[in-house]
Amino acid sequence: MDEKRKNKIKNDKLPGKDDLIVDLAKDQLEEKMQASAMDINLFCKDGYVHMYGMVDVLAEKKMAESVVKSIDGVRKIENKITVAMDSNITDKHMEKEVLNRLMNGQRSEDLVGVSVKVEDGVANLIGNTKTLMDAHTAMSVASEVRGIKDVVNNIEVSDDVAYDDATLNSRVTQALSTTALNYPDIIHTVVHGRVTLNGFVNSRHEMEMAKEIAMGVEGVRKVVNRLKVRRENEDKEEI
């Protein structure tokens, strides 16, 4: 057998990029979610990951998607994971549990203005919070309650103190400058309270960090994250 044919056979046995994504996703899910990942299955085609299976709470479904989304090469995710339902848990039970966690959790002082109505397992959050980040915290709290299969955010960010866009832009700059992020490489604009982030960061973790920082600025109503990871750092993450 000639050398060229030997190399071809050898290369045919190498796993493709989709196979590598699946293997890494399974390893990451097992490491970060442990037993919660046991009933999660997935396959990948051309960078499109399809997830299915079952978890106990909505928060685990969201976490699984977040874990897979962070893997290099993943282009899109279809999350068909099902949240386990218990017929003994009624909407009223879920509503009471969500309210209890909102009022007595670690961030309860920031969530005093939030209430909830549960219908057919869907939690509708209403009321107001001081920051956009607080509203997202309330969503996370609700998603941890057993039986909740979806969370709808109808929370309004308080406008007790009105900030114009120029002031908000300065506040976002200040918030970013107090972190370990290389903030001069992050460009942000504010239009009607909506912050758009552009520029480059060193990792996907920094992308999420920058978004969360902007969401935590009082007066910000929405954050659009268009940050990109520097190519050389993406290559390092893949290794």
Task: Give me the pLDDT at residue 157, please.
Answer: 85
The pLDDT confidence band at residue 127, using thresholds 50, 70 and 90, is: very high
Which structural domains are found in the chain, ordered by start?
A: 3-83 (3.30.1340.30), 91-157 (3.30.1340.30), 165-238 (3.30.1340.30)
The per-residue DSSP string of 14-45 comes to: S--HHHHHHHHHHHHHHHHHGGGGTTEEEEEE
> Residue 69 burial (CB < 10 Å; 0-12/13-18/19+)?
middle
Rounded mean pLDDT, 134-157: 92
* Mean pLDDT of all residues belonging to the chain: 85
